[in-house]
Amino acid sequence: MTGKTFALVPFPTPALVASLAGIRLEGSCSRHGDALTLKYQLSGDLSGIVLPGVDPVRERRHGLWNATCFEFFLARGDGQGYHEFNLSPAGHWNAFRFTGYRQGMCDETVVSRLPFTVSRSAGELQIGLTVDLSVLPAPEPADVEGSGKPGRERSSETATNATNAGGTINEGPLRWRLAVATVLLGTDGTPSYWAVSHPAPEADFHHPGAFVIGL
C-alpha cells in the first residue's frame, strides 16, 4: 500500500502554547500485507522535554504514559475492540488489548516482544518499528466494566493531519484503523498530549474518533 505521513499536534492547552511552539512531531506509516511499519520524528528545541537515554536492558513495563511515551492504537475493521502500544525512548514497551472504549483492558500476551529503533541527534529523536498484524487476535465484544485507567489523554476538536498520495486518509475498504499519539513530559513535570486528531473536549487518545488513519 502507499505510505502515509502524519503530523501530531498538541492538545490546545493555553499554558503550554509558548513552550511547545518550537517542537514538531511527525511520522509515517505503511502496511505491506500483515507488516505495519511506523515511524515517529520529534524535532526542534527538545531541551525542555524529558528524553531518557536508551536502557541497556529493554523490557515490558507498565505506566510508560506517565513520562514521555510514543503510542499507537489499532482497531480491526469497524469493531469496538482495539490494541494499544506504548514505546518509551528508553527502549521499554507495552501492549494492551481493549474490548471497547476504555473497557476490558488487559495485557496483550501474544505480543511477547516489541523491538523498535531509537536514534537521537542534536534537536531530533526518531523511533521506528514494524508490527506483525497477523498475531493480533480480534478483540471480543465489549462486555467488561471500564478499565479504570487514568484519563491521561483526552482531546479536543478533530484535526485531520494525515495524508497519502491520494489526498484522503480513509480511501477504500478498511481492514485496520490506526490512531497515533504521544505524551511529551516537560522537564518541569508538565505533560503535553499530542495526536493526529483530537476529537473530544479533553485529550483522549482512546476516543473512537481518533482512529483516523486507514490501513
pLDDT band for position 93 (cuts 50, 70, 90): very high
pLDDT band for position 146 (cuts 50, 70, 90): very low
Kindly report the pTM of this predicted structure: 0.85
- Predicted pLDDT at 157: 34
Better-scored residue on pLDDT, 137 or 66: 66
* Residue located via cell numbers 486518509: 169
Flag whether pLDDT at 206 surpasses 60.
yes
- Predicted pLDDT at 15: 80
State mean pLDDT over 184-209: 96
Flag whether pLDDT at 152 surpasses 60.
no
Flag whether pLDDT at 162 surpasses 70.
no
For residue 126, how far is the Cα from the chain centroid? 14
- Predicted pLDDT at 21: 87
Q: Per-residue pLDDT tens for 33-60?
A: 999 999 999 999 999 999 999 999 999 9
Flag whether pLDDT at 143 surpasses 70.
no
Task: Report the distance separating Cα 189 and Cα 180, nearest Å.
Answer: 23
Task: Report the distance separating Cα 58 and Cα 38, nearest Å.
Answer: 19
Task: Report the distance separating Cα 74 and Cα 139, nearest Å.
Answer: 11
pLDDT band for position 141 (cuts 50, 70, 90): low
Considering only CA atoms, which of 2, 55, 27, 59 is closest in space to residue 181? 27
- Predicted pLDDT at 78: 86
Domains in the chain: ranges and CATH: 4-214 (2.60.40)
- Predicted pLDDT at 209: 96
- Predicted pLDDT at 70: 98
Q: Residue 58, class by beta-carbon neighbours within 10 Å (0-12 exposed, 13-18 middle, 19+ buried)?
A: middle
